[in-house]
């Protein structure tokens, strides 16, 4: 604000490595793979940058961080409300546009009431006890002579945001929202293909799912995709459970099996497809086990 008060509202990280436009990348909030030292280093730099430029209002800063060292570069400084700002606002429940407008009028951060909570002031930094995943939506199939490869130029026409207690849950929810014909992180949509992993396309996540099921190691997948091993391990959790459901008799889906499936984002339809059952049968079993959404 005009009185030099400054807070950080949201930190997010791209699942894809540098070279893929942030609008083309899966984004996770809060960041999952940063150490405490790395997080505080980037946070301190962000506050120093906004003070150096004398920005009053909202600003988002994008970094490239070397995962093997503490070397980092500032890629972008947006001293305005952008797509990233809209995502941060929705992910945290912090009314960024409302607060930025008040700051432009010269009002101090501690004097602005948070219109969402109704109790706290705008100088309280949000703290998330959940995971948010944003996945872009492409419609490349509707266009002729268009490359499906994704990179530094933005081709996505929209995006979805999902919320869950775990990354796996939010990730699978988001995949289902992007395309109503997709059950989740499904290894049966695409075939394993090293070129599809190394040169990302709009369907890379499903090539990745198939490759995990085919037995590719985490280290090999990291070499090909440069997606952080933490995310690859979480994706492997989903595929491992998918295989477990495939090997489980659909009449023996116990309370514990269904509860664990729900906690990592499996839908009734997805469980049914893996266990060779029907969506209705799985739903009845789930309701009999008293497993219901909150």
Quick one: pLDDT band at residue 56, thresholds 50, 70, 90? very high
Quick one: pLDDT band at residue 155, thresholds 50, 70, 90? confident
Q: Are residues 185 and 284 in the same domain?
A: yes
Residue 4 lies in a domain: no
Query: Where is the domain boundary, 99, 120, 141?
Result: 120
Query: Where is the domain boundary, 120, 150, 172?
Result: 120
Q: What is the CATH number of the domain that holds 101?
A: 3.30.470.20
Share above pLDDT 70 across residues of the chain, in percent, rounded to a whole number: 100
Number of domains in the chain: 2
Q: What is the CATH number of the domain that holds 198?
A: 1.10.1030.10
Residue 65 lies in a domain: yes
Q: Are residues 115 and 195 in the same domain?
A: no
Q: Are residues 194 and 264 in the same domain?
A: yes
The residues, ordered by sequence, that sit 6+ positions from 67 with a Cβ below 8 Å of its Cβ are 33, 228
Q: Are residues 215 and 284 in the same domain?
A: yes
- The answer, yes or no, to whether residue 225 has pLDDT greater than 80, is yes
- The answer, yes or no, to whether residue 176 has pLDDT greater than 80, is yes
Residue 41 lies in a domain: yes
Residue 134 lies in a domain: no
**Selection from 50-54, 147-151, 246-250 with the highest mean pLDDT:** 50-54
Residue 196 lies in a domain: yes
Give the pLDDT score at 167.
Answer: 95
Q: Which domain holds residue 50?
A: 28-120
Quick one: pLDDT band at residue 116, thresholds 50, 70, 90? confident
Query: Where is the domain boundary, 73, 95, 120?
Result: 120
Cβ-count burial 211-220 (b if 16+ within 10 Å, e if not): bbbeebeeee
Give the pLDDT score at 142.
Answer: 79
Share above pLDDT 90 across residues of the chain, in percent, rounded to a whole number: 63
Quick one: pLDDT band at residue 46, thresholds 50, 70, 90? very high
Give the pLDDT score at 266.
Answer: 93
26: tokens are 């899966």
Mean pLDDT on 55-65: 93
How high does pLDDT run on average in the chain?
Answer: 90
């Amino acid at each position: 604000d005009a009185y030099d008060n400054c807070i950080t509202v949201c930190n997010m990280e791209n699942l894809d490595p540098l070279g893929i436009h942030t609008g083309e990348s899966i984004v996770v909030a809060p960041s999952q793979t940063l150490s405490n030292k790395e997080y505080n280093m980037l946070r301190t730099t962000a506050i120093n940058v906004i003070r150096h430029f004398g920005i009053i209002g909202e600003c988002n800063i994008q970094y490239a961080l070397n995962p093997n060292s503490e070397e980092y570069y500032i890629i972008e400084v947006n001293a305005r409300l952008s797509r990233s700002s809209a995502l941060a606002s929705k992910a945290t429940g912090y009314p960024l546009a409302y607060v930025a407008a008040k700051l432009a009028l010269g009002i101090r951060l501690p004097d602005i009431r948070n219109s969402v909570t109704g109790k706290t002031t705008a100088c309280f930094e949000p703290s998330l006890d959940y995971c948010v995943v944003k996945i872009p939506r492409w419609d490349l199939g509707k266009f002729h002579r268009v490359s499906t490869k994704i990179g530094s130029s933005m081709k996505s026409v929209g995006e979805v945001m999902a919320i869950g207690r775990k990354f796996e849950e939010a990730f699978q929810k988001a995949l289902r929202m992007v395309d109503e014909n997709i059950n989740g992180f499904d290894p049966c949509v695409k075939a394993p293909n090293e070129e599809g992993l190394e040169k990302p396309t709009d369907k890379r996540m499903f090539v990745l799912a198939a490759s995990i099921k085919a037995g590719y190691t985490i280290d090999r997948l990291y070499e090909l995709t440069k997606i952080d091993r933490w995310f690859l391990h979480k994706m492997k959790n989903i595929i491992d459970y998918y295989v477990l459901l495939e090997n489980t008799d659909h009449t023996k889906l116990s309370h514990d099996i269904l509860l664990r499936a729900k906690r990592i984002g499996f839908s009734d339809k997805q469980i049914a497809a893996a266990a060779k059952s029907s969506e209705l049968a799985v739903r009845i079993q789930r309701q009999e086990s008293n497993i219901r959404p909150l």
